[in-house]
Amino acid sequence: MMRRALDPSSSRAPLLGWLGAVLLLALWLGREPDARLALLPFAVLLPVLWQAARGIRAVDPALVETGRSHDLRGWPLYRHVLLPGALPFIFTGLRQGLGLLWLTLIALELFVTPSGLGLPTPPAGGPPGVLALLLGIALYALLSAGSGALVSLLERWLLRWRPR
């Protein structure tokens, strides 16, 4: 059942179900600042789970059989065979999740919270308001690039066994 729910080729479109749950959560929380804190984990969690499931399914069955022939069962099989095989997919999901996280954060800043980037500038203060908006966008871009660089460093360190 889990495989069918996470299968990207299934006709049920599980992303729409997640999106519906996230939108209902956003409506329930309203314009409170807590909406950001509640919705942001969903933005990261969905792509990571999706890619982890794809990665575990993509592990070579011969490697799994080799692990089983060495008496690996349960957690040791996951730790020594399935997790290392799925790590490239998990890092792909982490990159996708971080991108979605920053987009969600910007959308929440613009449309949900009563302060931040979406705060309307007073008519008399045109250019300073625009400057603050551009600086805020530049800050988000730098934070996004920095988080991507950290994930790349972590990936390079954890996947040092993989040929480049």
Domain-located, residue 164? no
Model pTM?
Answer: 0.72
Domain-located, residue 34? yes
Domain-located, residue 19? no
Which whole number is the average pLDDT over 74-91? 91
Which whole number is the average pLDDT over 133-162? 88
Domain-located, residue 25? no
Q: Could you read off the pLDDT of 13-43 as tens digits, one per residue?
A: 455 555 566 667 667 776 666 666 777 887 8
> Which pLDDT score is estimated for 7?
52
Which residue in 103, 91, 112 sits closest to 141, CA to CA?
103
Asked if the model's pLDDT at residue 130 lies above 60, the reply is yes
Domain-located, residue 14? no
> Which pLDDT score is estimated for 116?
60
User: Which residue range is the domain that position 146 belongs to?
Assistant: 30-115+129-159
Domain-located, residue 5? no
Whole-number Cα distances in Å, 149 to 98, 103, 142: 11, 17, 10
Asked if the model's pLDDT at residue 90 lies above 90, the reply is yes
Domain count of the chain? 1
Domain-located, residue 91? yes
